[in-house]
């Protein structure tokens, strides 16, 4: 699979299935956030709107780069044509429920993901599914009672470069689209990560400030199997 595929390829099947041109203006789902998920990078700064309309309320603002300097990415949930403009319903990073609409022209060509990361806070396990089947299952550490890992639907937002594998983030770290309401004073606003550890003896357990910790060998195994834009379910 190439790094990106054209968005019109991702939605071609839905368009061909429509019996008439009027249906093209109905909402068309693009991702199930399980085995068929599309992501795209943000090409230029754009507001996120509550509805697919230029006069709709602005609910957020997206920039092409993250706090850490990575290319900003969003999940493509669906689209709707309004007049001559195509609006994409996206899941975007931030605190709480973050879904809104941006014009298609603000996005790069999309990438297809067939994997899903499931963070199970009850069983203290991370599972990686491909096409709905578990291909990796590892123990984890998650947020302690005073700063729990936030549940919900998210995605892998960026892969972070580490200066050393002996830091508290271990051998590899991913930044997710999730943010902790208990750590908003952190640089970047309290982004929740999935990363390795320098304290493997604490895993499994409720040990972190909200991030998900894995043994270094496990985060490296995960890193070989996922890309930026992979959906994440925290439950």
pLDDT digits (tens, 9 = 90+) for 5-37: 444 444 444 444 444 444 448 999 999 999 999
pLDDT digits (tens, 9 = 90+) for 92-149: 999 999 999 999 999 999 999 999 999 999 999 999 999 999 999 999 999 999 999 9
19's CB contacts (< 8 A; 6+ apart) are: none
Strand runs (DSSP E) across 131-190, as ranges? 133-139, 141-143, 152-160, 173-179
d(CA 209, CA 63): 27
The two three-digit tokens of residue 33, written as one number? 């956030």
Ramachandran angles phi, psi of 160, nearest 5°: -100, 135
d(CA 87, CA 85): 6
Mean pLDDT, range 163-170, rounded to an integer: 82
pLDDT digits (tens, 9 = 90+) for 182-227: 988 887 889 999 999 999 999 999 999 999 999 999 999 999 999 9
Count of Cβ atoms closer than 10 Å to residue 134 Cβ: 11
Nearest to 152, CA basis, from 185, 109, 119, 115: 119
Ordered by where they begin, the domains of the chain are 7-113 (2.30.30.170), 115-234 (2.40.440.10)
Indicate the DSSP class of residue 187.
G
């Amino acid at each position: 699979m190439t790094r990106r595929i054209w968005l019109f390829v991702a939605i071609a099947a839905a368009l061909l299935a429509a019996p008439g041109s009027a249906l093209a203006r109905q909402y068309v789902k693009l991702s199930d956030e399980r085995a068929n998920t599309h992501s795209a990078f943000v090409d230029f700064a754009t507001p996120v709107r509550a509805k697919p309309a230029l006069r709709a309320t602005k609910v957020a603002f997206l920039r092409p780069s993250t706090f850490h300097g990575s290319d900003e990415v969003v999940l493509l949930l669906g689209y709707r044509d309004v007049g001559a403009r195509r609006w994409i319903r996206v899941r975007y990073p931030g605190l709480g429920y973050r879904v809104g609409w941006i014009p298609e022209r603000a996005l790069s060509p999309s990438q297809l993901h067939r994997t899903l990361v499931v963070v199970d806070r009850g069983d203290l396990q991370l599972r990686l599914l491909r096409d709905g089947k578990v291909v990796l299952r590892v123990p984890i550490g998650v947020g302690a009672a005073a700063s729990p890992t936030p549940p919900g639907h998210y995605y892998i937002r960026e892969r972070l470069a580490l200066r050393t594998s002996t830091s508290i983030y271990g051998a590899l770290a991913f930044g997710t689209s999730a943010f902790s309401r208990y750590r908003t004073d952190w640089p970047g606003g309290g982004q929740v990560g999935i990363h390795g550890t320098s304290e493997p003896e604490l895993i499994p357990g409720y040990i972190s400030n909200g991030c998900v910790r894995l043994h270094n060998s496990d985060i490296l195994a995960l890193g070989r199997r996922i890309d930026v834009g992979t959906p994440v379910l925290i439950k």
